[in-house]
Structure formats: C-alpha cells, structure tokens
Amino acid sequence: MPRATNNVAARRRHRKLLKAAKGYRLGKSRLYATAKDQVEKGWSYAYRDRRVKKRHFRGLWIVRINAACRLNNVSYSVFMNQIKNAKIDLNRKALADLAVSRPEDFAALVKQVSA
C-alpha cells in the first residue's frame, strides 16, 4: 500500500509561510526552507523589539523632559525629585508630552514644584 501524504495541508502551510516572507530579498521570499528560517528570525526580532521599544520611548521621554527642564534652569534629576516630593503623580510620558506641546504649562509646573 502506498504511503499517504497530506499535500493539501503541506501546501497550505507553505503558502502561509511564504506569504509572511513577502518583501524579503531573493530566495528568502521564494524558497520555502530559507523563507522559513528568515520568517522565524523575523518573528523572534519582533518579539524582542516589542520590549526594546518600551526602553527606547522611556529614554526619549527623559531626553525631552531634561531639555525642557534645562530651559527652566533646573536639572532633570532635581526636577524629578521635586515632582516626587510634591506627590504629583505624572509619569514621564505625560511630562514629556506636556514639555513638548505646552511649554508654558511645563514652566508653571517647574515653578510650582521648586517653590
């Protein structure tokens, strides 16, 4: 009796993976074996970088807050300590947005916590 294969499922699986490999160069988008390796590597990078993105944004917010603080003659570390001591519960994302979009309100906040 001949060996039965499930070509329908295999073809569907290959087609699904090759669709995920669209945009890759050369054989990485056309050949199943290399496409599989590349897609899996891409997925692992995506998983890792979803966590790295959070670090990058926190760094960006700190840079923006620091720049706004320097314009108001106070350092970032001193300002963050004053915010904490004043029990103002604003996170870095909100503070950075305030510093960029409404600098006059940020200046008022700096003045309020330093007094």
Domain membership of residue 90 (yes or no) is yes
What pLDDT does 69 receive? 97
| 107: CB partners within 8 A, 6+ apart | 71, 72
Q: Which residue range(s) make up the domain with 39?
A: 7-114
In a domain, 70, yes or no: yes
Number of domains composing the chain: 1
What is the pLDDT, as a whole number, of residue 74?
97
What's the pTM? 0.79
Residue 92 near residue 58, CB atoms below 8 Å: yes
Which pLDDT score is estimated for 115? 77
Residue 2 lies in a domain: no
Q: How far is CA 67 from CA 49, 99, 102, in A?
A: 26, 9, 14
Q: To which residue do tokens 């897609």 refer?
A: 39
pLDDT values of the chain reduced to their tens digit, one per residue, 115 residues: 788 889 999 999 999 999 999 999 999 999 999 999 999 999 999 999 999 999 999 999 999 999 999 999 999 999 999 999 999 999 999 999 999 999 999 999 999 999 7
What CATH number did the domain enclosing 63 receive? 1.10.1900.20
Does residue 15 form part of some domain?
yes
Assigned domain for 1 exists = no
